[in-house]
Chain A
């Protein structure tokens, strides 16, 4: 019989310590975003003022628009590329060195982000590309691909190829079989990948900061530059919103994958 993990000594203490270090700052930031005082140590009463202030700040407004635009475009394009790659890897005739190719698709997950950021910057400068939203978008598409690829390929692996064969037997062309059978069946994986890629792009600071140009600040970059002036409850408010969006999308992504696994 296997022991539950709580039977091992110290499990509880270590777990609580880790959770405490990880979540306490997040909880404090969220709480103090509703604090009516500027202080981050004394509580002065409940208010939405900092949220209203943040929403009315033109720098934050434009940064939010930039971030959303890049996240939507980068995640959609990365998902399309990842879907094509997954179809090629799992549905085509097996390639030579297929494992190496899959490894290369997923490589951005393992590379230190600062390396990606610096090398992207050098690359864009070398080809004489103007830094701005365009360069951020290209860099984001590239490192979002593995986040979209993993859930899509996992889902495709679970779809038995006999469905394709059945569609083919019933007079479907290859495209019709993809459109009517494979695509709807893979949809939970695709949506899950799309949402993961969206969150990853939205949250990115290092790469965006490196390849951005004037006037192309994203939300995390704006938060960082505001921090240099001093920590304000306004930043707490934006951070809380970003946190909520991320939690929402990651949860939805997980839920999408889970609900389909139980009925297949």
Chain B
């Protein structure tokens, strides 16, 4: 597989504001690649640099080994699905889809054939002669997709294209986008702030914050093996414990969870695996996902000396969410699947034992 896009030390400065800081990564041909981050993290700026709407301050962008950072948008074989679609209101759906081909100088017969083909791909053949304002949001979204795909770009950029749709439509469009991407084989670069969207659709995800690339990996790598506190917090929900590292051997460390207030107690020491350089002392945090914390009835012989009082229990259908106050003083979020009946296992005020599988916990350096 060839490299579709290669970013080398790309930075972007707006006056005094550093929007992107030394971004480098490659995107493979045919990949569904997602830029994920909170608003203001630089993901849209990066997309606009790829599209040619902004100029890089420094660095190199290569598209299939050709430098493109100085090419204007209308000279790059890259098309964009805009956040608010920007369909031309005075043109019909069919004319909208033809527009890029017309500007490229494709002959009329071929233009019509290819636009028909694209409208068939997004299942809007019957709406070809309508104006964009006669379509629903979901249909407009498909037209925008067809319009951007019609010139057969080497790279398709999607700028939060699902954010204007309601939840049900958004979920079905996710599957459809993925299907269309696989059918056409075109490399997609998708920008979103919605981590669920990123996890369900992407081959790989680049998590960004404050103009920096935080982590690059497959959805499961990002979720299971976050590199830092930001990624752990941003992707899904997690509990972060302040940890004291007592000692360490080759691949696991002996740690305690530290009391987070005066009346709290430290947990008993236990061993967790670690993956990065680690210093002895209170230098790390432990990330444990809510669904991986196990609550059991309180007993005295508690392995980690971790017990808690249930403060809230929220029934959510497929699972029940508990907020418990640990004896270390920290509030912990727990999610347990409702495997049997809708009966809540624990009630508010119950005293419970808290345990977790250490292999699913993740040590993060502060």
Interface residues in chain A, defined as those with a beta carbon under 8 Å from any beta carbon in chain B = 160, 162-163, 165-173, 176, 180-181, 184-185, 263-264
Contacts and interface: CB of A to CB of B under 8 A. Distances in A.
B151 to A, nearest CB: 7
Interface in B35-59: 51-53
B88 to A, nearest CB: 6
Contacts of A160: 86
B82 A170 contact: no
8 smallest CB-CB distances across A and B, nearest first, come from A170-B100, A166-B86, A171-B103, A162-B86, A172-B103, A184-B90, A169-B80, A168-B73
Nearest to B79: A169
Contact of A163 (B52, B73, B78, B88): B88
Interface in B86-126: 86-90, 99-100, 103-104
Nearest to B105: A171
Interface centre among A165, A169, A184 (most CB of B within 10 A): A169
B147 interface: yes
A34 B165 CA distance: 63
Contacts of A166: 80, 82, 86-88
B104 A171 contact: yes
Counting contact residues on chain B (CB < 8 A from A), the size range is 20 to 34
26 contacts: A160-B86, A165-B82, A165-B86, A166-B86, A166-B88, A167-B88, A167-B103, A168-B72, A168-B73, A168-B74, A169-B52, A169-B53, A169-B73, A169-B78, A169-B148, A170-B74, A170-B79, A170-B103, A170-B147, A170-B148, A171-B75, A172-B74, A181-B88, A185-B89, A263-B133, A264-B89
B103 A185 contact: no
Given A170-B99, A170-B103, A263-B133, A185 B90 contact: yes
Main secondary structure of the interface of A (DSSP, over half): helix
Contacts of A171: 74-75, 100, 103-104, 151
Interface centre among A166, A180, A181, A184 (most CB of B within 10 A): A166
B100 to A, nearest CB: 4
B262 to A, nearest CB: 56
Given A170-B103, A170-B151, A176-B103, A162 B90 contact: no
Given A170-B100, A171-B74, A172-B103, A165 B53 contact: yes
A162 B73 CA distance: 13
Contact of A167 (B51, B53, B75, B99): B99
Interface in B268-283: none
A170 B97 CA distance: 10
A180 B79 CA distance: 18
